[in-house]
Structure 1
């Protein structure tokens, strides 16, 4: 509803702007036309004729300007545009509160942890000088523990950007067992891209030699992939027109770079995305709900700062859902191994403790708090996320 109102108001402003622009151009064209006519009259003096009366010509031009009244016409169109624009701005201020500080709650953050999060964010994004500056000014040199690891990661990534896979292969070899536990095929993907690079630049013989040396060990568990690479040898001089043309796409190098970053962070025990980036993005998505709640609380004269739990859910996108959780709609408690979510026959879900409190005994029939259905504890089934 709010977006529809804003869209309609914007359309009205856009329409007025077009009309104002069209009217302004029309007035300017009229004035220009009259000036050109006067200049033509002045310049078209014939030798046999009397001199042109300049004063009379300019007087006539002034009278025509007065008849056109360009200032009045321009002021009228601009005034209509200004009125609609002011209404639009007031509507935006009403629907979208520009003071985001209203959604702020004082929290006693641990400054050491905050400095660590920010510094590691800089290191993760390759801003090593900025990270060093922060920890030096904050006086917390121990925060830079992850710096050396991210330096190593960026060296691998820089090498991949120039299609040099050797540093990445050395890292994979040193962490092969851990990568196997993550079910990663990073090593095979590196060799596959290198195989195609050699096939394009050195031809069939060079690619076949590389395959015998580096791809043969993968044939046991990745036979289909190796066979596909061997089939591409038949198209050595016309890969662009072959069934394997898609494998030449440079996007594969970008995907490999992304996967290497993911695996590197995983082995470090770090998330792929910077926690600071995720926190800010999630905050921006939930900000409209928080601002609306803050305004409602202020209108009811409730203390926003005293709240320990939000009375409304803040809906976030799937990219912010990192693990499945269940919060009982009755007790408002998060499900756990001791208090798991239970599915009622009516397909509503409550936590086990809530069901037991509602039934009081395992044999007593309980009524679902969300529909007229009734059930016993024995009819409820535990859900596993």
Structure 2
């Protein structure tokens, strides 16, 4: 469980009538008390009516306590996940940066506000964006606002199995999606999802012929079309030992899960292509920084290094850089500049990085120098594997 899951569980409790304390109380007041009053006025024994009313009050108390127990459990889970996400000594780390203090510089404050505003805008939380614009001198660009609104609309449509808005966007940006060096396969996977959702085989084949034949050179379109010839309703030769109802239910649940996973993958693919189209960062900057600083423990490691180095080198807190490497997960290793490990020179458009068969990367000029003497392949400077000139691939960071 993470923070998002814990908050989702807490939100579901707020919309559930079984965990609401107002429901049992309102029922007690509207039904039991009014009915007891009517019975006493009608002449029934007050002692008997009051005794029954006391039982109703006790039952109502149990219902309220049961609902509160669920709330306490959900709130406790949120607290636990917050403690896991943020180091408990984060406050001490913040105090340690009092010289110089964190975000005291106007430039740093503005940078933090810009990152937060960008994150809110990308998520389409416009009320928060407007509130932050009022509190700061920043403003979210109207052009990005319209793009963010479009992105959120299409992502929501994909989640609800409506892929037509995404397909319309792909058609409007077809020249960009098909251009090198990174032609996108997003349109194919969208059409594939539509194809798989069509129950009528003839209609599915007609759809594939109309929309998917252009992808035959690069994608297994023909294999996908011929898969319609297989009848998934045909029982297997040796069915599992369970009732037909159980088999149907398990198959239905598996299909629903597979469909949900497919839509989630399409959401990620579309968001990546949308951000690439408009030159947005692939991931939310605020989310990346928060994850690295909290879950990754980067702040904790940096503070420990400052403390150890400070004992030998004096006050190092005012240093702009530290001679240390912070371990990061593979997905968070960003290389905006590549330096060839052989020539020690930065890669450029005329001297791009090239990946060898073994996975090591060197600059193109270094690769060509190793090819001198009429050689058709080179030996990697770091391992015994050889790579020919036609196999070496250019990398784009």
TM-score class, shorter: 0.5 to 0.7
Shift of 1:281: 2.0
Shift of 1:118: 1.1
* Structure 1 residues 154 and 313: alpha-carbon distance in aligned structure 2, compared to 1, 3 A threshold: same
Aligned residues: 239
Question: Which sections of structure 2, spanning at least 5 residues, go unmatched?
Answer: 1-86, 237-251, 354-393
* Structure 1 residues 186 and 208: alpha-carbon distance in aligned structure 2, compared to 1, 3 A threshold: same
Shift of 1:188: 1.2
Higher helix share: 1
Shift of 1:335: 4.9
SS at match of 2:190: helix
Match of 1:316 in 2: 328
Aligned 1:143-154 pairs, distance under 5 A:
143=141, 145-154=143-152
Q: Could you tell which deviates more after superposition, 288-297 or 255-264? A: 288-297
Q: Does 1:212 align with 2:209?
A: yes
In the alignment, the residues of structure 2 paired with residue 218 and residue 98 of structure 1 have an alpha-carbon distance, to the nearest angstrom, of 55
SS at match of 2:302: helix
Match of 1:378 in 2: none
Match of 2:165 in 1: 167
* Structure 1 residues 293 and 239: alpha-carbon distance in aligned structure 2, compared to 1, 3 A threshold: farther
Work out whether residues 115 and 135 of structure 1, in 8 Å CA contact, stay in contact via their aligned partners in 2.
no
- Among candidates 230, 233, 249, match of residue 235 of structure 1: 230
In the alignment, the residues of structure 1 paired with residue 90 and residue 207 of structure 2 have an alpha-carbon distance, to the nearest angstrom, of 62
Match of 2:156 in 1: 158
Aligned 1:57-76 pairs, distance under 5 A:
none
Match of 1:348 in 2: none
Shift of 1:119: 1.1
Shift of 1:179: 0.9
In the alignment, the residues of structure 2 paired with residue 290 and residue 103 of structure 1 have an alpha-carbon distance, to the nearest angstrom, of 11
Provide the TM-score with structure 1 as the length reference. 0.53
SS at match of 1:141: coil
Match of 1:306 in 2: 318
Provide the TM-score with structure 2 as the length reference. 0.52
Shift of 1:212: 2.6
* Structure 1 residues 179 and 97: alpha-carbon distance in aligned structure 2, compared to 1, 3 A threshold: closer
Match of 2:270 in 1: 260
In the alignment, the residues of structure 2 paired with residue 268 and residue 236 of structure 1 have an alpha-carbon distance, to the nearest angstrom, of 43
Work out whether residues 163 and 194 of structure 2, in 8 Å CA contact, stay in contact via their aligned partners in 1.
yes
In the alignment, the residues of structure 1 paired with residue 232 and residue 340 of structure 2 have an alpha-carbon distance, to the nearest angstrom, of 63
In the alignment, the residues of structure 1 paired with residue 235 and residue 329 of structure 2 have an alpha-carbon distance, to the nearest angstrom, of 39
Question: Which sections of structure 1, spanning at least 5 residues, go unmatched?
Answer: 1-92, 342-383
Match of 1:130 in 2: 128
Match of 2:286 in 1: 276
Match of 2:175 in 1: 177
Shift of 1:215: 2.1
* Structure 1 residues 311 and 240: alpha-carbon distance in aligned structure 2, compared to 1, 3 A threshold: farther
In the alignment, the residues of structure 1 paired with residue 111 and residue 172 of structure 2 have an alpha-carbon distance, to the nearest angstrom, of 31
Work out whether residues 118 and 140 of structure 2, in 8 Å CA contact, stay in contact via their aligned partners in 1.
no
In the alignment, the residues of structure 2 paired with residue 275 and residue 239 of structure 1 have an alpha-carbon distance, to the nearest angstrom, of 50
Question: Looking at CA atoms only, which structure, 1 or 2, has the larger radius of gyration?
Answer: 1
Work out whether residues 129 and 140 of structure 2, in 8 Å CA contact, stay in contact via their aligned partners in 1.
no
In the alignment, the residues of structure 2 paired with residue 287 and residue 294 of structure 1 have an alpha-carbon distance, to the nearest angstrom, of 11
